[in-house]
Amino acid sequence: MMWSVLGVLCATSLTAASTHSLHRPQERSVTTQGSLDTSGRLTKSSGLDETKWLQSRAQAEKLCAKLNATEKASIVTGSMTGLCIEYIAPVESIGFGGLCLQDGPAAIRLADLASVFPAGVTVAATWDKDMMYERGSALAQEFKGKGAHVALGPVAGPLGRTPWGGRNWEGFSPDPFLTGVAMDQTIRAIQSEGVQANAKHIIGNEQETQRKPTVVDGKRVEAYSANIDDRTLHELYLWPFADAVHAGVASVTCAYNRVNSTSACENEYILTDILKGELGFEGYVVSDFFASFSGIEAANAGLDMNQPGPISATDLTESLWGSNLVSAIANGSLSEARLDDMVRRILTPYLYLGQDKDYPSIDPSSQSLFLENFGLLQPGMPTPVGRDVRGNHSRLIRSIGAAGTVLLKNTNNTLPLKNPNNIGVFGNDAPDVSTGLIFPDNGFEIGTVVIGGGSGSGHNSFIVPPLDAIKDRARRTGSTVQYITNNTALAAGITGIYPWPDICLVFLKGWATEGMDLVSLEADYNSTLVVENVASICPKKTVVITHSAGPNTMPWASNPNVVAILAAHYPGEESGNSIVDVLYGDVNPSGRLPYTIANNETDYGVSILNVTGSLAEDSSAWNVNFTEGQFIDYRHFDANEIAPLYEFGFGLSYTTFELASNMSVSKVASSSISPYPAHVNSSLALGGNPNLWKTLVTCSSSVKNTGSVRGAAVVQLYVSLPQDNVPVGTPIRVLRGFEKVPLQPGETKRVSFSLTRRDLSYWDIVAQDWKIPSGEIGVSLGFSSRDLPYKSSVKIL
Ligand SMILES: *[C@@H]1O[C@H](CO)[C@@H](O)[C@H](O)[C@H]1NC(C)=O
Ligand SMILES: *[C@@H]1O[C@H](CO)[C@@H](O)[C@H](O)[C@H]1NC(C)=O
Ligand SMILES: *[C@@H]1O[C@H](CO)[C@@H](O)[C@H](O)[C@H]1NC(C)=O
Ligand SMILES: *[C@@H]1O[C@H](CO)[C@@H](O)[C@H](O)[C@H]1NC(C)=O
Ligand SMILES: *[C@@H]1O[C@H](CO)[C@@H](O)[C@H](O)[C@H]1NC(C)=O
Ligand SMILES: *[C@@H]1O[C@H](CO)[C@@H](O)[C@H](O)[C@H]1NC(C)=O
Ligand SMILES: *[C@@H]1O[C@H](CO)[C@@H](O)[C@H](O)[C@H]1NC(C)=O
Ligand SMILES: *[C@@H]1O[C@H](CO)[C@@H](O)[C@H](O)[C@H]1NC(C)=O
Ligand SMILES: *[C@@H]1O[C@H](CO)[C@@H](O)[C@H](O)[C@H]1NC(C)=O
Ligand SMILES: *[C@@H]1O[C@H](CO)[C@@H](O)[C@H](O)[C@H]1NC(C)=O
Ligand SMILES: *[C@@H]1O[C@H](CO)[C@@H](O)[C@H](O)[C@H]1NC(C)=O
Ligand SMILES: *[C@@H]1O[C@H](CO)[C@@H](O)[C@H](O)[C@H]1NC(C)=O
C-alpha cells in the first residue's frame, strides 16, 4: 500500500518537476553467509560454473520464446516505476520478477541502515586479495538484503589515466594488473552471494570534464572522444575488463563518452567486436544513466539494456526503446534475433544466480531516498525505515581502512605513538561532518571525508571521525587532546594551544566526486599553510594524515618538522578507528601506494583536456588523444627517468623485511611454446582465448620479517619484455604479480607467483593477437616499482 502511494507521489512529482533535471546528484551540481573454510576464512568462489551457465542460457532462451515483442522490449528497457536507481519491470507470465539495479561500488547508496565501505582506491592500497574478496562479499550481502539484484560496481574505468580524474577513487589503480586482480576478486565475491556484479564503465571514461554531450546556445556539443590506439586499448584500458569477463561478470556498463568519435554505448567495435567477440562476454551491456543517445543504432551496436529508460532527464515519458523496438522489428531496422539475444543475455545471469527464487523484496527506504536523491523529498512525505543489513561489517571496514593506509614517512620511528600525554589534533578533516551524512556534491568544509561524491558515494548511517576516536583512545591513558579544526584559522596562525603538544596530528582532505575533475592535486583548504603553521609550533613532532582520492602533491613532505606521513585514502565509515589502529600500532601499516606520488604535479605528463572559450562549443575540439599510449603513472616516470616523491608500490612498515637471494624462475612446460596462443573452440571463452590464461612461468622466493614486530610484506613482481624484440611503446617494466605475506618477527615464508601467457605477451596489432616476444624476459622481485633487488630472466622463444 505504502508502495503504491509512494509510487503515485513519485510519478506525480517527477512529472511536475520536469524542469528540475533528473540525474544523479553530482550534476545538481537478510544476509547470506559465505561458506567458511576450516581456517574461518571465506571460501572463494572459483568463478563461473560453465555447465550451469549454459543450462541457464538454454532456460533463458526457452523463456524468451514465450514472450511477444512488447514483453521482450520491456525486459530490455528501464522503467521509472521501481524506485531503484535503475529498474526493469517484472514479466509475471514467465516468472521474471524484474531487476533492481543500485549504485554503487562502495555502498548500496539509496538505502538506510547500510554500510559505507572503503573506496576502491583504498582496497587497492591494501594489496590484499583476501580483503578485496571479503569487501565484495560483505557489500553483496547488503545489496541482496535490500532487494537489489545488480550492484553497479566494481569500476575499472576510469583506470586513472591522469590523477586529476574526478572518479579515479571509485576504481582501484592506474595499473591494469592491480585493477584486474581487484576486479576479479570483487566480482567473484559479489556473485558468490547471488548478486549480479557490473563492470563499469567501458571505455575511456578517464575524465569527467565534458563526459556527456551538452547544449550551449541551442547547439549540441558532443561528449569528448577518447581516441585510443589498439595496443593501448588492449594492454591498458581493456585489460581489467578482460579480468572481469573472465571472472564471469553478469553485466557491463558502457560509458557516457565517445570512443574514436562514436558514443561508447553505440560503439559496435567496442561492444560487439571486442567485448562480446574477442573477450567472449556472455552477459548484458547496460547504458550508464541516460548514456544511450540513440535508439535502434545502440541496439544494433550491442547495447542490451537501456537505463533508466526514458529519452532524457527532461523527457521522462518517452523512450527511444520500449515500443520503438517493436516498431523497429516491424519495419526491419532491428532483427528479432537481436532482441532475443538481448533478452537472453539479461535473463541468463538472473537464472544462473537463482534470483528467480525467493529474492528479497526491494527495501522500503530506497523509495524515499530515491526521491531525496532527486531533490523531491518533501517534508511530511513518508520515510519508512528499512531493513538493517549491516551485520558486523563495520569490523571488516575498520580493518580494510587500516590496511589501506600507506605509511610514507616515519623519521626516527615517530610512529607508532608511544602513549603521548598531550596530543594536538589539527585540520578540518579531523572532526565530524557538520552538514549531514549524505555528502553534498561540492564537498563540505568541516568534517572528515570517508568517501567521495556522486553515484559512488554512500549514505552514511554513522561516521567515526578521527578526532572522536583519538579522544576515546587518549582517555584510556588520561592524555590531553587539544584541537583546532578550522583551516582558515589554522592558515592564519596557531593560537589557543597550551601547553605545546608532545605530538601534532594534522588531518588533511581532498574532495573528489563524479561529474567534476580535480583542479589541484594539493589537499584542500589551504593544506600546505596549515601543515607549515602546525609544524612551526610542533617541530620534529608533526604527523600528517591525508584522506583523499588518490595522489596528492605534498610540498611539505621534506619539511624536517614533518616526521611522519600517512595516506589514508577514503576509508569508509570507521575512519577514525582505522587510523587510531595504525597510529597506536595495533595494526602495523602494510598498505602500499597503488599509484605514484610526484614531486610536482607537472611530472605526471598527462592532464585532462579542458577546452575553454569559444572552442568549447566546437565538438571537434573535444578529442582526448591518448597519445601517451601506455605511459601513464609509473610507466611514464620510469620511461622518462623522473624521480617520484613516493613511487608506485611504496610503503613503510613498523618492521623490516628482506627477500632471499635465491629467487627461482622456471618455465612450466618443457615442450616448445608458440609465440601466439593456439585457438581453441569452446562453448564459453570468458575473458578471451583460454590459452591466454594458462600459466607458462612460475617464480618463487622467500621473504623474512627482520624486525621486531609482526607485519605484512607486499612482495611485487615486475616483468620487462626485451625492448629489442618488441614494438616501441613498451613500458620498461610492468607489475605482473603481488602477494601480501603476514609474518611474525623472525619468520620466513615462501612466496610464489604464476605468470600466464597474457602476462608475458604484448598485443600485436598486425596479427591482432597476443604475442610472446623472443629473447630474455626480465623478472624482478622486490617491495616497490623502484625497490627491486632481485632480477632474473626467462627465455620462452
Ligand atoms: C503481449 O503480451 C502482453 C501480456 O500478455 C499483452 O498484454 C499484449 O497485448 C501482447 N502484445 C501483443 C502485440 O501481442
Ligand atoms: C581508434 O582508431 C585507430 C585509428 O584508426 C585504430 O587504430 C584504433 O584501433 C581505434 N581504437 C578504438 C578503441 O576504436
Ligand atoms: C523504424 O522504426 C524505428 C522505431 O520507431 C524508427 O526509429 C526508424 O526510423 C524506423 N525506420 C524506418 C526505415 O522506418
Ligand atoms: C562476522 O561474523 C561472521 C559470522 O558471525 C564471522 O564469521 C566473521 O568472522 C565476522 N567478521 C568479522 C570481520 O568480524
Ligand atoms: C573559522 O575561522 C575564521 C577565522 O578565524 C572565522 O572567520 C570563521 O568564522 C571560522 N569558521 C567557523 C565555521 O567557525
Ligand atoms: C575547466 O575549465 C573551466 C573554465 O575555465 C574551469 O572553470 C574548470 O575549473 C576547469 N576544470 C578543471 C577540472 O580544471
Ligand atoms: C586560505 O588562507 C587565506 C589566507 O589566510 C584565506 O584568505 C583563504 O580564505 C583561505 N582559504 C581557505 C579555503 O580556507
Ligand atoms: C633523529 O634521530 C637523530 C639521532 O638521534 C637525531 O639527530 C635527529 O635530530 C632526529 N630527527 C628528528 C626529526 O627527530
Ligand atoms: C613544477 O614544475 C613547473 C614546470 O617545471 C614549475 O614551473 C613549477 O614551479 C614547479 N612547481 C613546484 C612546486 O616545484
Ligand atoms: C587529437 O588528434 C587529432 C588528429 O590527429 C588532432 O586533429 C587534434 O588536434 C588532437 N586534439 C588534441 C586536443 O590534441
Ligand atoms: C632460499 O633462502 C631462504 C632464506 O635464506 C631459505 O629459507 C629457503 O629455504 C631457500 N629456498 C630454497 C628453495 O633454497
Ligand atoms: C573450430 O571450429 C571451426 C568451425 O566451427 C573449425 O573450422 C575449426 O577447425 C575448429 N578449430 C579447432 C581447433 O577445433
For residue range 706-749, what is the model confidence (pLDDT) as tens digits? 999 999 999 999 999 999 999 999 999 999 999 999 999 999 99
- 33 pLDDT band (50/70/90 cuts)? very low
Residue 223: the pLDDT is 98
Residue among 260, 611, 625, 628 whose CB has most ligand 10 atoms within 8 A, to mutate: 625
Instruction: State the pTM of this model.
Output: 0.95
What is the mean pLDDT of the segment spanning 228-234?
A: 98
DSSP state of 720: E
Distance CA 614, CA 333 (A): 38
The rounded Å distance from CA 614 to ligand 2 centre is 28
Q: What is the pLDDT of residue 37?
A: 40
Q: What's residue 316's pLDDT?
A: 87
Nearest to 204 by CA among 243, 241, 177: 241
What CATH number does the domain containing 719 carry?
2.60.40.10
- Return the percentage of the chain with pLDDT > 70, whole number: 94
- pLDDT confidence of residue 374: 86
Mean pLDDT confidence for 104-121: 98
Q: Are residues 790 and 730 in the same domain?
A: yes
pLDDT average, residue stretch 83-108: 97
- Number of domains making up the chain: 3
User: Domain for residue 395, yes or no?
Assistant: no
> Does residue 31 register a pLDDT over 80?
no
pLDDT class of 513 with cuts at 50, 70, 90: very high
667 plus 762 within the same structural domain: yes
The span from the CA of 356 to the CA of 362, in Å, is 14
- The DSSP bridge partners found for residue 36 are 42
Does residue 15 register a pLDDT over 50? Answer: no
Q: What's the pLDDT score for residue 43?
A: 56
Q: Are residues 575 and 681 in the same domain?
A: no
Same domain assignment for residues 162 and 229: yes
Domain end among 587, 619, 638: 587
CB 201 within 8 A of CB 581: no
Q: How confident is the model at residue 612 (pLDDT cuts 50, 70, 90)?
A: confident
Cβ neighbours, 10 Å, residue 450: 34
427 CA to middle of ligand 5, Å?
13
For every residue of 298-340, DSSP letters joined together read: HHHHT--BBSS-SSBTTB-S--SSTHHHHHHHHTTSS-HHHHH
What confidence score (pLDDT) does residue 17 get?
A: 34
Pocket lining: 428 vs ligand 7, CB cutoff 6 Å:
no
Between the alpha carbon of residue 336 and those of residues 59, 262, 514, the distances in Å are 18, 24, 37
For residue 492, the model assigns a pLDDT of: 97
pLDDT of 83? 80
Whether the pLDDT of residue 2 is over 80: the answer is no
Of the pLDDT bands very low, low, confident and very high (cuts 50, 70, 90), residue 410 is: very high
Model confidence over 303-338: pLDDT tens digits? 999 999 999 888 888 999 999 999 999 999 999 999
Beta carbon of 511 within 6 Å of any ligand 7 atom: no
Q: Ligand 7 test: best mutation among 442, 484, 486, 488, most atoms within 8 Å of CB? A: 488
Q: Please tell me which residue in 288, 304, 468, 759 is annotated as part of the active site.
A: 288
pLDDT tens for residues 457-509? Answer: 999 999 999 999 999 999 999 999 999 999 999 999 999 999 999 999 999 99
Task: Tell me the mean pLDDT in the region 6-30.
Answer: 36
* 757 domain residue, yes or no: yes
Residue 29, pLDDT above cutoff 50 = no
The pLDDT value recorded for residue 317 is: 87
- 771 within a domain of the structure (yes/no): yes
The pick from 679, 680, 681, 682 for probing ligand 12's pocket by mutation, whose C-beta has the most ligand atoms within 8 angstroms, reads 681
Mean pLDDT of the chain: 93
Shortest-distance ligand to the CA of residue 542:
8
* Inside any domain, residue 601: no
Pick from 114, 5, 104: nearest CA to 387:
114
pLDDT digits 0-9 by tens, 193-205 = 999 999 999 999 9
With respect to residue 620, please indicate whether it lies within any of the assigned structural domains.
Answer: no
**366 and 414 inside one domain:** no
The DSSP symbol for 489 reads H
Ligand 7 mean position to 446 CA, how many Å?
14
Specify whether 325 is located in the same domain as 441. no
| Distances 429 to 433, 527, 551, 563, 593 between C-alpha atoms, Å | 9, 10, 17, 19, 21
Q: What is the DSSP letter of 649?
A: T
pLDDT more than 90, % of the chain:
90
pLDDT of residue 40 exceeding 70, the answer is no
Please report whether residue 578 resides in a domain.
yes
156 and 240 belong to one structural domain: yes
Phi, psi of 738 (to 5 degrees): -155, 150
183 has a pLDDT exceeding 70: yes
Q: Please name the residues in contact with 437: beta carbons below 8 A apart, sequence gap of 6 or more.
A: 459, 460, 461, 462, 463
- Residue ending a domain, choose from 554, 587, 620: 587
Q: 540 CB under 6 A from ligand 8?
A: yes
Give the nearest ligand 5 atom to 446 CA.
13
| Residue 488 beta carbon below 6 angstroms from any ligand 7 atom | yes
State which residues form the domain around 714: 654-795
CA neighbours closer than 13 Å in the CB half-sphere of residue 308: 24
**Residue 580 pLDDT level (bands cut at 50, 70, 90):** very high
Residue 226, ligand 2, Cβ within 6 A: no
Q: pLDDT band at residue 682, thresholds of 50, 70 and 90?
A: confident
Query: How many whole angstroms separate alpha carbon 264 and alpha carbon 241?
Result: 14
| Nearest atom within ligand 7 for CA of residue 526 | 1
pLDDT at position 443: 96
Residue 288 is a catalytic residue: yes
Is residue 470 included in any domain, yes or no? yes
**125, 241: one domain:** yes
Residues 422 and 491 in one domain: yes
What's the pLDDT tens digit per position in 636-655? 999 999 999 999 999 999 99
Contact of 591 with 174, CB cutoff 8 Å: no
- Is residue 392 within 6 Å of ligand 4 at its C-beta? yes
Kindly list the distances between the CA atom of residue 330 and the CA atoms of 301, 451, 642, in Å, as whole numbers in the listed order: 19, 48, 61
Does the pLDDT at position 8 exceed 60? no
**215 and 329 both lie in a single domain:** yes
Q: What is the pLDDT of residue 747?
A: 98
Predicted local confidence at residue 167, as pLDDT: 98
- Supply the CATH number for residue 413's domain: 3.40.50.1700
Domain stop point among 560, 587, 614: 587
* Domain CATH number, residue 317: 3.20.20.300
Query: Do 581 and 668 share a domain, yes or no?
Result: no
Does the beta carbon of 68 sit less than 6 angstroms from any atom of ligand 1? yes
What are the cell numbers at 234?
588492449
Q: Is 413 in the pocket of ligand 8 (CB under 6 A)?
A: no
pLDDT score, position 314: 83
Flag whether 731 is in a domain.
Answer: yes
Q: Over the stretch 739-785, which tens digit does the pLDDT of each residue have?
A: 999 999 999 999 999 999 999 999 999 999 999 999 999 999 999 99
What is the spatial distance between Cα 115 and Cα 131, in angstroms, rounded to a whole number?
16
pLDDT at res. 81: 86
Quick one: 341 and 417 in the same domain? no
Q: How far is CA 511 from CA 172, 441, 519, 577, 719, in A?
A: 17, 9, 11, 21, 35
Cα Rg for the chain, rounded, in angstroms? Answer: 26
Res. 297: pLDDT tops 80? yes
Cα 332 to middle of ligand 3, angstroms: 8
